[in-house]
Structures are given as C-alpha cells and as structure tokens.
C-alpha cells in the first residue's frame, strides 16, 4: 500500500519523466488505486506517458480498468479514444456485462465501438446481443461491425442471425459472408445459395468463394445448377469452389453428365486471370482428363518459368501425368516448341505407363542436346532391358558427357550388361573426369572375369590414374579376391593410390590379423593424407588391438593426425588413453588443445576430470568454454551412472 501511495503521489505531478516512470511502476505493482489517474494519462500530450499508462492499465486489468476506460470512448481526443478501444478489446472478457449496455447507446458511434469490442470477448453472451444489433440496429455501420465481430467469435450459434442478415444491404452482406465462411455452419449453405438469386455479381462472387472455403458438400449440387445461368466470371468461380469442396478424386463420383459438363467449364476456367481459378481447374481436369484437357494444361505449363513458378509448375506437371499419355502430350513432346517438349518429358517421368520409355526413345534423336539429357535422365530410371539396343546406340553415337553418364548408369548399374563392358571400359580414358567416374562405376557393377582381366591390365599400367582406378575397383569388387594386389598397392609410389588401397582393405577389418599390420606401416607413411586415412580406418574398425597405434599417433608430427586420433579415442571412451592425452593440453596448437579437452570430456573418469580442472583457470574464452562443457559432461555421466 505504501508503494501505491507513493506512485499515486507522483502520478499527480506534471513532469513527463516522473509520470512515465510512475505509470510503469503502477503496472508492475498492480496498483488498482492508480487506475483513474492512469486513465487520465491516456489523454496526455506526451507519447511516452501515454504508452506507459496504456501498458500499466493492461497489466492491472479487471473491472475497474474497464469501467474507467469506457468513458474515454466519448472523448474528441482521437489518440486517447483509440487507446481506450485497444485496451477494452484486450480486457473485454474480464467484464462483458459492463460492455453489453453500450450496444444500445443512443450514439451510433458508441454502438459501433461496442460491437467491435464485443467481438474480442470470446464470450457466448456477446453472440446474442451482436445478433440483435445485426438484425435490428438502424445504423448500417453498426450492423456491419456486428457481423464482423460475430465472425471473430466464430460460434455456431451466430449462424442463424447471420443467415437472416443476408437479406440486408450489400455493405452488410460483405461482412456476413466473411463471418459465415469462418463459422462454416451447414445451415448457412442454403442461405448463401438462396441469396445468390438476388445479389449483385460482386456479392455472388464472394458467396461462391465462401462456399468453397466452407467445404460443405451440400453446396455442390446447388452450385452445379448455377453453372448454366451464370456469366463466365462466376462460372469460373463455381468451378474453383466445386473442386475445392470435392477435391480431385471425388469429382469422379459425379454422374457422367455432370463430369462432362463440369469439364467444359473447367477448360474455360483455364483462361481466367485469377491463378487460383486456373489451378483449381487444372486440379479438376487431372481427374476428369481428356485430350483437350491435356493440350490446354500443357500449354499453361510450358509458359511457366521453371525458377520463378517452380511449385506451380510441379503441380501442373503432376496434373498432366494424372491425365495420362495422350496424343496431345505425344505431340507436345515432338513439337518444335522446346518448352512444351520439356514439360512433356517432365510429365512422362511421373507416369507409371509401360509405353512411356518407347515414346521417349522415339523422340530422343529429334531434339537437341539439352532435351536429350533430360530424356536420358528419365529413361535411365524408367526403361527396362528392352531399351538395351537404344542405349548401346546412344553410347556409340553421342559425345555429350551428361548423356554418356546416364547411359553408363543404365547399362552398368541397372542392366549389368556384360556385352557393354568393353565400350564402357573405353570411358575410363574419356577426357572428362565425371565421365570416367561413371564408366568406372558401371564397369565395377558389371564385374565378372572379363572386367577383372581389364582391371588387371590397368593395375599393371605405368599410368598412375589407371592404377588408381584398378585399386579402387579391386576394393569394390571383393577385397579377398584381390588381397595381394591391394597389399602391393600400399607400397605404390603415388600417395593417392596408397590411400585408396587402405580404404579398400577396410572391408577386411573383421579380420584384424590381416589388416592391422598393413595399417601399422601406413602410420609412418610420408604422406599425411595416407596417415589420416589409416587413423580413420582404425577408428571405424575399432578393436582393442588398435589402441597402441592410436596412442602412437598422438605423437605424430602432423597436428591433424593427432586430432583424428583424439577423435577416435574420445568417441570410443578409451580410459587407457587419458595419460597420453593430458600432455596435449599444453600443445602450442590451439585446435589440438581443444580436441584434447573434448576427448577427455567424452572419456570421463577421475583422471580426466582432474586434468580438466587444472586447465579450468584459463583466461582464454574459447578454451574456458570447452573445459566447462567437458567437465559438465563428466559430472552428468557420473550422476547418471553411465
């Protein structure tokens, strides 16, 4: 109370800074006795004081705030009146009874304000009084605001009065339609459709949109009956609403005559300027289909920008695919219009139709490089063994790298076609590296004695690139079968070959007696990359036997090798490593220190904890944060018993 008394005294002054601070404190202290003074400050000429008083009144809330704020609705001071409106909207539910009488005030402006505020109450008591105002108030703007507020409340009991209000003048109808679309009551469907017989085209358009948004299937028969008698713009709106209500698949539940009739109007709706109407028509045509639909939708899709209209293009392409493999789509694929052909290929890629691959193969040589790439990309995924000769022909005749890569994938990974092995092997000497890689993967996928023999020839070559490919292939085709060659490759003069050989023998890590001695030798390799690979493999193929090697790697001259070893030891929580890690806490390389801290945190235990405490006094923020994190991790694991 003493605090409120002091606040009230300061609210009686005229110093703006004092008033602002006092108003802020009144809100913090929930000082109800200060409410009248705070309400008065809403009329202050100082914006800061007004804002502080506004915030305080909202914070205090309750009946008293509402009662002292209501009179401000009548003042000529517009800023103060607007603040009062905002406060009453925010607090309306705290005293609905004090607000309801305002809806009957002689002043029409006050009734408008009251209708607005009651829409924020979320109270069923407001529905009745707003419904009465909607139907009986002589002022059109009051009726309009009552409809808006009933929509904000969105209570089904408001539907009855809103339905009746559809007989009001157009300005009110706008708000009524919007409110009904939010409430979505089934009784409103008939009222809205009935009103369409006497409303203007603009209101009728709004009603149709509302019916579509409401999604009540009862509206569909009524809307379909309106199609014939409506002008084009409204018919297009009806198409949109019907598709929105039924969805694509349910359109097939209409009678044959209804579907055919609706299809005609869907085709017309494709020319509507409203993209939402167009999209609804496209969605509907995807399920009722036909040649004309395919042709029209293809033309729309071909005009879309692949970057700017990406999502819409995808939806339209899926619609074309849903319609199916039509003559229109075949013509589009073979047309001189590159955009239509591109879209046609996209649509064909989405079809589950056995004739699609042959259609694409027939069109392939009639197009330029870019579309050929697109066609091959689809064919490589959808075609089967019957396309073998086509792909072999493309391999022999084509020079484009991307096309050849698609062919290599199909013949190698998909068909495992042994008769193509020699031609695919020729790709290993292609001028582009990505084509070499595609050819290599294809040959590996084919495998067999013939391919093995060719890779043996590569392995014996003086060309290091050929040896590298052979070693990589040996690792992929079976380590046991090529074990001796892989071991010999570990001594190759080229570091990359030694590295690939290491990665290849990782598949034998289950047999530690075989691969561990090989890795040991590579830990002393002159190439850092080879040593790093050896450490990575030990971490992946972790056994107790690898611990001494990982510990020795902590003394490597290269800091990155140390880091990889720390990662492996930390990940596997190797307690034996702690004494070897602790000296790295004073390493000159900050990264090594941070990794050592992280590893100790992962390993845990008393020794790691003590070592981290010793460096916890560091004044370097990054190190301090890392140490704190690792200590917290050890403590958490200790508490949970892990």
Residues 368-380: tens digit of each pLDDT: 999 999 999 999 9
Tell me which range, 242-256, 262-276, 479-493, is most confidently predicted by mean pLDDT. 262-276
The answer on pLDDT for 642 being more than 60 is no
The answer on pLDDT for 508 being more than 70 is no
Helix (H) or strand (E) holding 624: helix 621-640
Q: Percentage of the chain surpassing pLDDT 70?
A: 98
| pLDDT category of residue 520 using cuts at 50, 70 and 90 | confident
Report the distance separating Cα 151 and Cα 610, nearest Å. 67
The answer on pLDDT for 510 being more than 60 is no
29: alpha, beta or left, given left = phi > 0 and alpha = psi -120 to 50? alpha
The answer on pLDDT for 518 being more than 80 is no
Three-state SS for 179-228 is HHHHHCCCHHHHHHHHHCCCCCHHHHHHHHHHHHHHCCCCHHHHHHHHCC
Q: Name the average pLDDT for the chain.
A: 90
The answer to which of 160-164, 170-174, 228-232, 422-426 has the lowest mean pLDDT is 228-232
| pLDDT category of residue 173 using cuts at 50, 70 and 90 | very high
> Cβ distance 553 to 562 under 8 Å?
yes
The answer on pLDDT for 147 being more than 90 is yes
The answer on pLDDT for 631 being more than 70 is yes
Query: Which residues, other chains included, contact 294 with Cβ-Cβ below 8 Å and sequence gap of 6+?
Result: 320, 323, 324, 326, 328, 329
pLDDT in tens, 383-395: 999 999 999 999 9
Q: Quote the DSSP letter at residue 616.
A: T
> Cβ distance 485 to 452 under 8 Å?
no
User: 3-class DSSP state for residue 173?
Assistant: helix
Per DSSP (E only), the strands in 549-625 are none
Geometric angle at alpha carbon 512, from 506 and 513, rounded to 5°:
125
Report the distance separating Cα 556 and Cα 462, nearest Å. 32
> Cβ distance 602 to 570 under 8 Å?
yes
| pLDDT category of residue 129 using cuts at 50, 70 and 90 | very high
* Neighbour count for residue 36 (Cβ, 10 Å): 15
pLDDT in tens, 55-93: 999 999 999 999 999 999 999 999 999 999 999 999 999
Name the residue among 367, 364, 270 with its Cα closest to residue 323. Answer: 270
> Cβ distance 87 to 65 under 8 Å?
yes
Chain centre to alpha carbon of residue 373: 29
Report the distance separating Cα 298 and Cα 452, nearest Å. 49
The answer on pLDDT for 624 being more than 80 is yes
Q: Looking at residue 107, what is its pLDDT?
A: 95
| pLDDT category of residue 511 using cuts at 50, 70 and 90 | low
Query: Which residues, other chains included, contact 73 with Cβ-Cβ below 8 Å and sequence gap of 6+?
Result: 81, 84, 85, 88, 102, 110, 113
pLDDT (mean) for 247-256: 80
Geometric angle at alpha carbon 338, from 334 and 344, rounded to 5°:
60
pLDDT in tens, 438-492: 999 999 999 988 899 999 999 999 999 999 999 999 988 876 778 888 888 988 9
Report the distance separating Cα 240 and Cα 625, nearest Å. 59
Name the residue among 166, 225, 223 with its Cα closest to residue 200. Answer: 166
pLDDT (mean) for 562-576: 91
The answer on pLDDT for 413 being more than 60 is yes
Could you tell me the pTM of the whole model? 0.71
Report the distance separating Cα 472 and Cα 418, nearest Å. 20
Q: Looking at residue 259, what is its pLDDT?
A: 85
| pLDDT category of residue 253 using cuts at 50, 70 and 90 | confident
Rounded alpha-carbon distances, angstroms, from residue 135 to 252, 401, 511: 42, 75, 88
Q: Looking at residue 8, what is its pLDDT?
A: 87
> Cβ distance 479 to 507 under 8 Å?
yes
pLDDT in tens, 28-40: 989 999 899 989 9
Three-state SS for 81-144 is HHHHHHHHHHHHHHCHHHHHHHHHCCCHHHHHHHHHHHCCCCCHHHHHHHHHHHHHCCCHHHHH
| pLDDT category of residue 433 using cuts at 50, 70 and 90 | very high
400 by Cβ neighbours in 10 Å (0-12 / 13-18 / 19+) ranks as middle
CB hemisphere CA count around 532 (13 angstroms): 11
202 by Cβ neighbours in 10 Å (0-12 / 13-18 / 19+) ranks as exposed
Q: Looking at residue 104, what is its pLDDT?
A: 94
154 by Cβ neighbours in 10 Å (0-12 / 13-18 / 19+) ranks as middle
Report the distance separating Cα 146 and Cα 132, nearest Å. 9
Q: Quote the DSSP letter at residue 304.
A: S
The CA dihedral of 39, 40, 46, 50, to the nearest 10 degrees, is 0
Report the distance separating Cα 22 and Cα 559, nearest Å. 62
């Amino acid at each position: 109370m003493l605090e409120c008394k002091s606040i009230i005294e300061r609210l009686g002054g005229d110093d703006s800074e004092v008033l602002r601070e006092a108003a802020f404190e009144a809100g913090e202290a929930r000082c109800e006795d200060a409410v009248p003074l705070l309400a008065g400050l809403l009329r202050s000429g100082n914006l800061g004081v007004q804002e502080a008083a506004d915030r305080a009144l909202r914070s205090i809330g309750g009946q008293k705030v509402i009662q002292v704020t209501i009179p401000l609705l009548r003042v000529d001071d517009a800023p103060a009146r607007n603040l009062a409106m905002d406060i009453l909207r925010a607090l309306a539910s705290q005293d609905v009874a004090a607000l309801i009488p305002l809806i009957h005030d002689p002043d029409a402006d006050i009734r408008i304000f009251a209708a607005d505020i009651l829409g924020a109450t979320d109270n069923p008591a407001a529905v009745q009084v707003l419904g009465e105002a909607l139907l009986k108030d002589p002022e059109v703007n009051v009726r309009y605001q009552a409809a808006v507020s009933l929509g904000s409340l969105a209570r089904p009991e408001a539907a009855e009065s809103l339905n009746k209000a559809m007989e009001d003048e157009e300005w009110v109808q706008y708000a009524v339609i919007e409110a009904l679309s939010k409430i979505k009551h089934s009784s409103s469907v008939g009222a809205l459709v009935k009103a369409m017989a006497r409303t203007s085209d603009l209101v009728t358009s709004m009603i149709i949109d509302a019916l579509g948004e409401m999604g009540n299937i009862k509206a569909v028969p009524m809307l379909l009956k309106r199609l014939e008698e409506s002008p084009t713009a409204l018919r297009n709106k009806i198409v949109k609403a019907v598709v929105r209500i039924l969805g694509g698949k349910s359109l097939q539940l209409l009678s044959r005559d209804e579907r055919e009739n609706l299809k005609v109007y869907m085709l017309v709706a494709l020319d509507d300027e409203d993209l939402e109407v167009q999209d609804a028509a496209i969605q509907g045509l995807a399920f009722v289909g036909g040649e004309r639909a395919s042709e029209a939708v293809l033309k729309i899709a071909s005009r879309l920008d692949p970057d700017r209209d990406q999502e819409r293009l995808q939806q339209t392409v899926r619609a074309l695919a849903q319609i199916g493999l039509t003559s229109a789509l075949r013509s589009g694929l073979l047309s001189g219009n590159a955009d239509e052909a591109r879209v046609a290929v996209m649509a064909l890629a989405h079809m589950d139709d056995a004739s699609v691959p042959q259609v694409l193969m027939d069109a392939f040589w009639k197009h330029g490089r870019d579309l050929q790439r697109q066609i091959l990309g689809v064919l490589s995924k959808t075609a089967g063994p019957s396309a073998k000769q086509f792909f072999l022909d493309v391999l022999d005749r084509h020079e484009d790298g991307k096309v050849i890569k698609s062919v290599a994938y199909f013949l190698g990974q998909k068909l495992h076609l042994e008769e193509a092995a020699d031609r695919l092997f020729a790709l290993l000497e292609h001028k582009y590296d990505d084509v070499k890689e595609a050819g290599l993967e294809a040959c590996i996928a084919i495998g067999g004695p013939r391919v093995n023999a060719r890779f043996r020839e590569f392995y014996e070559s003086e060309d290091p690139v050929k040896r590298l490919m052979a070693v990589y292939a040996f690792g992929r085709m079976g380590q046991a079968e090529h074990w001796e060659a892989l071991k010999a490759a570990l001594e190759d003069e080229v570091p990359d070959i030694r590295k690939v050989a290491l990665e290849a023998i990782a598949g034998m890590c289950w047999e530690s007696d075989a691969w561990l001695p090989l890795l040991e030798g590579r830990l002393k390799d002159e190439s850092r990359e080879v040593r790093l690979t050896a450490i990575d493999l030990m971490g992946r193929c972790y056994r107790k036997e690898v611990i001494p090697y990982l510990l020795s790697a902590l003394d490597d001259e290269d800091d990155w090798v140390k880091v990889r070893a720390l990662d492996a030891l930390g990940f596997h929580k190797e307690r034996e490593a702690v004494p070897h890690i602790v000296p790295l806490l004073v390493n000159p390389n900050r990264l090594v220190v941070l990794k050592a801290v992280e590893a100790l945190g992962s390993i845990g235990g008393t020794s790691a904890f003590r070592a981290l405490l010793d460096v916890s006094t560091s004044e370097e923020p990054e190190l301090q944060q890392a140490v704190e994190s690792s200590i917290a991790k050890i403590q958490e694991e200790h508490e949970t018993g892990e």
